[in-house]
Amino acid sequence: MEWLGLRFGELSNGSALLLECSHNGFLVLLAYLIACAGSFATLDMADRLRHTEVPRARTRWRWTGAGCLAVGVWAMHFISMLAFEAPVDLHYDLVITVASLVIALAAGCLAVDCMGRPTISWLQFLCTGVGMGLAIALMHYVGMSAIRSHAAMYYDPALFSLSIGVSIAASLATLGIIRHFRSGNGAMQHVLKLSASLLMGAGFVSTHFTGMNAMNMAMHPGHMFAPVTTNNGQQLALTIAAVTLMILAGSVSAAIADKKLQGKEHDLQRVNALLSQLDQARASLQHAAHYDALTNLINRRGFNQIFADKLLEQQASGGKLAIMFLDIDHFKRINDSLGHAAGDELLTVIASHITHAVRHPDDVVARFGGDEFCVLLALEQQQDAEHLARRIMQRMTAPISIAGRRMVMTTSIGISIYPDDGTTSEELLKNADLALYQSKDSGRNSIHFFSPSLRTRATLELQLEEELRHALREGSGLELFYQPIFDLRSGTVAKLEALIRWQHPQHGWLAPDRFLGVAEANGLITELDSWVLRRACRDLARLSLAGHPSLKMAVNCSASTLGRDALPGEIADALAKAGLKPERLELEVTENALMSNIASTAGLLNQIRELGVSLSIDDFGTGYSSLAYLKRLPLDTLKIDRSFIQDIPASPQDMEIVQAIIIMAHSLRLQVVTEGVETLAQYEFLQSHGCDYLQGYLLSRPVPLSQLGPVLDRLRQRQDPAVGRVGER
């Protein structure tokens, strides 16, 4: 070890003079503080390293950490050397001193390599600790060998070994502290960090002073004691301390700044994550707000937004748009008879039919709620809208199986065109709606384009509604006409059907088809029906007094009236007020009204039937009623719809149907009325096939009460109806 200037062993007696050496207390303290500052800075760098993922930044913090430890330990060592006071001149070899700094850097690198690894085995930890300890010891003894003086240095082997041991122990402790030191922001964490730094500093200083303790300086007798030149060691020590502290402070400041920056980055990331979460939440809200959950089509709100955009587009480009309203015919009936689940299933199938019929991806299909759909399409050619409407109707013809039943649905369609029929979305939607009503009015399953005459019709209807309301309130203008129902077996008029008329102040006599739709659409129909009921009972009572005590009265009952629980009570009341027996009243209920209120009607019909009032199913053959269902209802009479009679005898098919209905009705113990009988041929055909009652212009048109007497008289006197045609209204 001579090459390192290390000489071991006892000084031979008398051959050399042992020098009395000491340390400057102030500089020792300074050295310790520098060691602590270096440790503190190193812990700070380790903390940064742990919180940085970016590889380049990690390398930077690793080198800064290695530098802080190296500078701290080396400066501690050097200042401690300057604290050493001996009665001889001491100088330092610069090259060797710098070499010792390089060795300190190697020790720092080992420490930082250890702190940079995510995991480390005990063996690796031990090896690094030992390597680092040896490097620090080496730095110390290389630093010692930089001393140039007339005295010789001898080392005590035991203390020398101990200094290496202390160095290794201090290094292991340092590594342990670095690896397990957790950063944080609390005050406790700062205290811990400071304590760890003090402990690490103490470890390094112990290494140094154990090494110093191992050293003895001796003068050979031949050497003269040169006077000790003024030592500027203290100044140098302070300079080195200041430079070191500056380096360490710079590193720590950089670490603090980085930490703050990272904190801000984290905040920013958190804010960004929060914003994107908010965005997602907003998007799903938007979806819920703009889409229909059942069919996943756009809903009315979503449609309005898109419609506004499309209108702007077309305004700019001068193109055309078609707005198509679709309403599924008799959907309510399905919903009421098969339940809402089946109704929903049906709607999804229909939605997919409509979507598949649409060809252009930019065209919009929306569900407006219930069974109302709307399609928006850009028109390339005028006929595009009609073609699409026909495609939709074509797809609808495919039977749909739901709830164990196969059914064929139809749809009514109304179309308005931008810019021909309006320029605002409200106007276009309203006009498409008017066109849709036109389709429904004309027997459904049809397509209608908007035309300005519809608009005037709509305004007229609004006015009509007002006037009807007024007429009902005042009891003015409304009138009942009566049409005889002839009993084929007895050859007498057995019943009358009450049919409403309205003498309108401007339009004259209006038939019910002119105003019943308005009444139905505005909820006036129940009021109208109860007015008819009361008036018909009153008139029947008058007829009884006028010599027709056994005539029965048939009164029509609309679907909405049939859905009201108060109906049996109102009927009983009207009968009581007129002083009539319930057996003299018959209620005519259409097939469609029965089917659309299927759940509630059965109970109501039973109550009405229990009063003693008879029930008749009107317009039979036009609806969907199933025989099984009819069998369960407390019905008395079945009225075959006029449409089956009008082509008799020309249509053999209709004749077969009518025969079949009569047989079927009789097997269900129902009496059969045939309405709309206009010719003798029809009369004879029906009589020969066992029909029970006849009603039609052949016998009499509906007439007001005032004209009924003569009609009844004529029909009673001349029992041959063919001779008794009366040409009244």
Sign of the Cα pseudo-torsion (99, 104, 107, 108, in order): negative
To the nearest whole angstrom, how small is the minimum distance from the Cβ of residue 314 to Ca ion?
48
Determine, following the binding rule CB under 6 A, whether residue 726 of this chain makes contact with ligand C2E.
no
Q: Applying CB under 6 A, does 512 fall inside the site for ligand C2E?
A: yes
Q: How far is the CB of 698 from ligand C2E (least distance, A)?
A: 7
Q: In what order do the strands lie in the sheet with 447-449?
A: 364-369, 372-379, 320-328, 411-418, 447-449
Name the token pair of 355: 């979507």
For residue 703, the partner it binds in Ca ion, ligand C2E, none, with Cβ less than 5 to 8 A by kind, is none
- Single-letter amino acid code for the residue at 646: Q
Shortest separation between residue 700's beta carbon and ligand C2E, angstroms: 9
Q: Which of 414, 358, 367 is nearest to 387 (CA)?
A: 358
The SS3 assignment for 618 reads strand
Q: Which residue is nearest to ligand C2E (CB)?
A: 696
Smallest distance, Å, CB 301 to Ca ion? 43
Q: How far is it, in rounded angstroms, from Cα 709 to Cα 280?
A: 78
Does position 618 bind ligand C2E by CB under 6 A? Answer: yes
Q: Indicate whether 697 belongs to the interface with ligand C2E (CB under 6 A).
A: yes
The reply to whether 654 sits near ligand C2E by the rule CB under 6 A is no
Q: How far is the CB of 494 from ligand C2E (least distance, A)?
A: 16
Choosing from 302, 343, 414, 696, the residue that interacts with ligand C2E (CB under 6 A) is 696
Q: How many residues bind ligand C2E (CB under 6 A)?
A: 24
Nearest to 108, CA basis, from 184, 189, 192, 41: 41
Q: Does 676 bind ligand C2E (CB under 6 A)?
A: yes
Minimum Å gap between C-beta 550 and ligand C2E is: 22
Stretch of 86-94, 259-267, 427-435, 690-698 contacting ligand C2E, by CB under 6 A: 690-698
| Residue 702 near ligand C2E by CB under 6 A | yes
**Pairwise CA distance, residues 240 & 232, whole Å:** 13
Nearer to Ca ion, 453 or 643 (CB): 643
Q: Give the Å distances, CA to CA, from 303 to 281, 327, 369, 392.
A: 21, 17, 12, 19
- Among 128, 556, 597, 674, interactor with ligand C2E by CB under 6 A: 556
**Among 270, 191, 260, 212, which residue's Cα sits nearest to residue 21?**
212
Restricted to residues 470-509, the positions that interact with ligand C2E (CB under 6 A) are 483, 498-500
Q: Which does 499 bind (CB under 5 to 8 A by kind): Ca ion, ligand C2E, none?
A: ligand C2E
Q: For residue 424, what are the CA distances in angstroms to 15, 210, 376, 418, 454?
A: 120, 96, 14, 9, 18
- Nearest distance, CB of residue 566 and ligand C2E, angstroms: 16
39 sits near ligand C2E (criterion: CB under 6 A): no
Between the alpha carbon of residue 434 and those of residues 306, 307, 386, the distances in Å are 22, 19, 17
Distance CA 546, CA 519 (A): 33
Rounded CA gap, 447 and 393, in Å? 9
| Residues binding Ca ion (CB under 5 A) | 556, 588, 618-619
Question: Of 36-44, 219-227, 422-430, 670-678, which part binds ligand C2E (CB under 6 A)?
Answer: 670-678
Question: Which of helix, strand or coil describes residue 84?
Answer: strand
- For residue 166, what are its two tokens? 């202390």
Residue 568: which of ligand C2E, Ca ion, none does it interact with, CB under 5 to 8 A by kind?
Answer: none
Choose the stretch contacting ligand C2E; rule: CB under 6 A; options: 204-212, 307-315, 469-477, 689-697.
689-697
The number of beta carbons lying within 10 Å of the beta carbon of residue 405 is 12
- Give buried/exposed letters for 520-553 (b at 16+ CB in 10 A, else e): eeeebbbebbbbbbbbbbbbbbebbeeebeebbb
Give least dist CB 673 to Ca ion, A.
9
Binding mask 341-380 for ligand C2E (x = CB under 6 A): ----------------------------------------
Closer of 516 and 578 to ligand C2E (Cβ)? 516
When the beta carbons of 128 and 592 are compared against ligand C2E, the nearer one is 592
Report if residue 591 touches ligand C2E, rule: CB under 6 A. Answer: no
Out of 68, 321, 532, 562, point to the residue binding ligand C2E (CB under 6 A): 532
The CB-of-575 to ligand C2E minimum distance in angstroms stands at 17
Mark out the alpha helices in 214-330 (DSSP H runs): 233-290, 300-317
Per-residue contact string for residues 623-642; x = within reach of ligand C2E by CB under 6 A: -------------------x
Which partner from the list Ca ion, ligand C2E, none does 697 bind, CB cut-off 5 to 8 Å by kind? Answer: ligand C2E
Q: Which does 678 bind (CB under 5 to 8 A by kind): Ca ion, ligand C2E, none?
A: ligand C2E
Nearest to 589 by CA among 521, 537, 636: 636
Nearest residue to Ca ion by CB is 588
Q: Between 331-338 and 340-357, two packed helices, what is the crossing angle to 10 degrees? A: 140
Q: Determine the angle formed by the axes of helices 512-521 and 525-545, rounding to 10 degrees.
A: 130
DSSP 13: T
For Ca ion, the closer of residues 428 and 574 by Cβ is: 574
CB of 639 to ligand C2E, least distance (A): 7
Contact 379, 319 (CB under 8 A): yes
Applying CB under 6 A, which residues contact ligand C2E? 483, 498-500, 511-513, 516, 529, 532, 556, 558, 588, 618-619, 642, 675-678, 695-697, 702
